[in-house]
Amino acid sequence: MEGRLTKLALKGDQRAFAELVELYKDKIYHLAYRMLNNRHEAEDIVQETFLRVYRNLDRYDDKQKFSTWIYRIGTNLCIDRLRKRRPTYSLDAEMNDQEGIDGYSMIPSDNVTPETELLLSETQRLIYEAIDSLPVKYRSVMILRYLQDLSLQEISDVLDMPVTTIKTRVHRGREFLRKKLEPKM
Amino acid sequence: MECKLAVSMMHDYLDDDLPELQQRELKEHLLSCTDCRAKFKELEQTDMLMFSLMHQSPVASEDLVSRIMNSLPQVKKERAFVTWIKRHPALSAASVFILVMLMSSVTFWNQDRQLVVRGTDLEQVVIQGNTVIVPSGKTISGDLTVENGKTQVYGEVDGNVTVIDGSLYQASTAHISGQVKSIDQAVSWLWYKVTNMFSEVAYR
C-alpha cells in the first residue's frame, strides 16, 4: 500500500502523499515526542521528516519497508537534534545569576493543559520519567521496540546496526527501566 | 542452570527470541529459584508497562497535516526536466553544444553586414562604396570573394568568383576562368563556412 502511494506521490499526486502523512504522522510524532520530550520540537521533527521523505521519494527503494525508511529518517533527525542540544547547555546546571533557574525552564514550555496533565496517571508519569532518563542510544532502541512495536530485526534495519547490538541494547535498556521502576511497583 | 544465564534467557523470552526447548528449561529454573522468579516478574511488568504506552500516543496539533502539505516544495515540472537531463547526459551535452554553435554562428552572421573583399590580387580591384568593380582591361590572377556587396565584373578574373549575400553583374566583356558561386541564404552560407574551414585545413 505504501509502495503504491509513494509511486503516486512521486508522479506528483499530492493526495497520495497526504495519505502517507495521515498514516505515519502520529507514529513519528509519538517517536519524536518521547525522544525529545517536547511538543514543539516533536512537531518540527514530524514536519522535517515528511519534507525529507518528499524530497527523496525518487530514492526510495521498494524492497525496503516504507515504515523502516521513514522511522530511520525520523530517528536520525531526533538524534541529531539531541546531539545539537547537549553541548549548548546542560539541563541540570543552574544558571549563574538567576537562582533556581536551570536548563529545563529554558526549553519552550509544553502546552500541556492542566486537564491533560490530570489524565496522566502516576504510573504513566513514572514510566515517562524512566524513559527520559535512559541514555540516548538505549532510548531510541526502547522507543522503537515498545512504542512502535518493531521487531529486533526491524530496529536493526532502522538504525543500521547488527541485530546482536540491538538485542544487547534492549536487554540493558529493559534492565535499566526495571531498576528505575522496581522501587515504585 | 546459572542465574546469569537464566536472566539472559528471560530477556530473550520477552523479545520472542527463545526456542521452545529453552523456554521449558527456563521455566524449570524459575520454579526452583525464588530470586529469579521475582526478577522475571519485574521484567515482565516493565515490559507490559512499556507496551501499554503504545496505545496512549500523544496528539499532535490538528493543523500539522496542512502545515506539512503546505511546506512541500512545488517544483514538480522543473523536477521532471531535471530528471530527464540526468537520465540522458550525452543527449543533453550534445544539444547544449549544438545550441551554442548555432547561437555563435547566427551572431557572426548578423555581425558580418559590412563589406569584405578577399582575393590574391586585390590591387587591380576598384571599390566604390558598397560596390566592388573589376575594371575592363584588367586581369585578376587568382580567386575573388566578396561578402555583403555588389560585384561588377568588366575585366578578366583568372580564378573563382564567390559572392556572398550580394549581387553579381557580369558585363559582356567579362571573362571568368574559374567557377562563379553566389551564396545568399544563411544555411548555404553556413555550409560554405564549414566546407571552407575543412578545405583550408586540408590545404595546410
pLDDT tens digits along A98-148: 444 455 545 554 555 544 555 567 778 888 889 999 998 899 999 999 988
Same domain, B120 and B198: yes
pLDDT at residue B28 above 80? yes
Q: Is residue B156 domain-resident?
A: yes
Same domain, B132 and B104: no
Q: Please give the single-letter amino acid code of residue A184.
A: K
Å between A24 CA and nearest CA of chain B: 11
Q: Please give the single-letter amino acid code of residue B93.
A: A
| Least confident piece of the model among A6-10, A152-156, B4-8, B25-29 | A6-10
Give me the half-sphere count of Cα atoms (radius 13 Å) on the Cβ side of residue B94.
4
Q: Which residue segments constitute the domains of chain A, with CATH numbers given? A: 1-89 (1.10.1740.10), 113-185 (1.10.10.10)
Taking CB atoms and an 8 Å cutoff, what residues of chain A touch B54?
146-149
The residue of A35, A169, A174 whose CB has the most chain B CBs within 10 angstroms, and thus the best one to mutate to test that interface, is: A174
Query: What is chain B's length?
Result: 204
Instruction: Give the range of the structural domain holding residue B136, as residue numbers without chain letter.
Output: 116-203
Q: Is B130 on the interface with A (CB under 8 A)?
A: no
Cα–Cα distance for residue pair B179/B57, rounded to 1 Å: 92
* Degrees, nearest 5: CA angle A110-A113-A116: 105
pLDDT at residue A142, rounded to an integer = 94
Taking CB atoms and an 8 Å cutoff, what residues of chain A touch B57?
26-27, 29-30, 147
Each as own residue / partner, the long-range contacts of residues A133-141 (CB below 8 Å, 24 or more positions apart, any chain) are: A133/A180, A134/A173, A134/A176, A134/A177, A136/A79, A136/A82, A137/A169, A138/A169, A138/A172, A138/A173, A138/A176, A139/A34, A139/A35, A139/A173, A140/A35, A140/A75, A140/A78, A140/A79, A141/A166, A141/A169, A141/A170, A141/A173
pLDDT at residue B201 above 80? no
Same domain, B137 and B191: yes
Q: Compute CA A58 distance to the chain's CA centroid, rounded to the nearest angstrom.
A: 25
| Cell numbers that stand for B116 in this block | 569584405
DSSP state of A97: S
Contact B54 A26 (CB under 8 A): no
Per the structure, the count of domains in chain B is 3
Å between A180 CA and nearest CA of chain B: 10
| Least confident piece of the model among A91-95, B30-34, B137-141 | A91-95
- Which positions in chain A have a beta carbon within 8 angstroms of at least one beta carbon in chain B? 12, 14, 17-18, 21-22, 25-27, 29-30, 33, 39, 42-43, 46-47, 50-51, 54-55, 58, 123-124, 127-128, 142, 145-149, 151-152, 167, 170-171, 174-175, 177-178, 181-182, 185
Q: Is residue B63 domain-resident?
A: no
Please give the C-alpha separations between residue B37 and each of A10, A178, B6, B131, in angstroms, as whole numbers: 54, 14, 10, 116
DSSP B151-164: EEE-SEEES-EEEE
Please give the C-alpha separations between residue A139 and each of A7, A19, A142, in angstroms, as whole numbers: 33, 29, 5
Q: Is B70 on the interface with A (CB under 8 A)?
A: no
Same domain, B102 and B120: no
Q: Which residue is associated with the grid cell 495519505?
A: A19
Same domain, B126 and B95: no
pLDDT at residue A169, rounded to an integer = 95
Overall average pLDDT of the A58-78 stretch: 90
Å between A86 CA and nearest CA of chain B: 24
Q: For the purposes of burial, counting CB atoms within 10 Å of the CB of A40, is it exposed (0-12), middle (13-18) or buried (19 or more)?
A: middle
Residue among A73, A32, A55, A47 at smallest CA distance from B65: A47
Q: Is residue B21 domain-resident?
A: yes
Contact A178 B50 (CB under 8 A): no
Question: Average pLDDT, whole number, for chain A?
Answer: 82
The residue of A19, A25, A30 whose CB has the most chain B CBs within 10 angstroms, and thus the best one to mutate to test that interface, is: A30
Same domain, B95 and B131: no
Taking CB atoms and an 8 Å cutoff, what residues of chain A touch B64?
25, 29, 43, 46-47
Same domain, B196 and B124: yes
Q: Is residue B61 domain-resident?
A: no
Same domain, B120 and B102: no
pLDDT at residue A92, rounded to an integer = 54
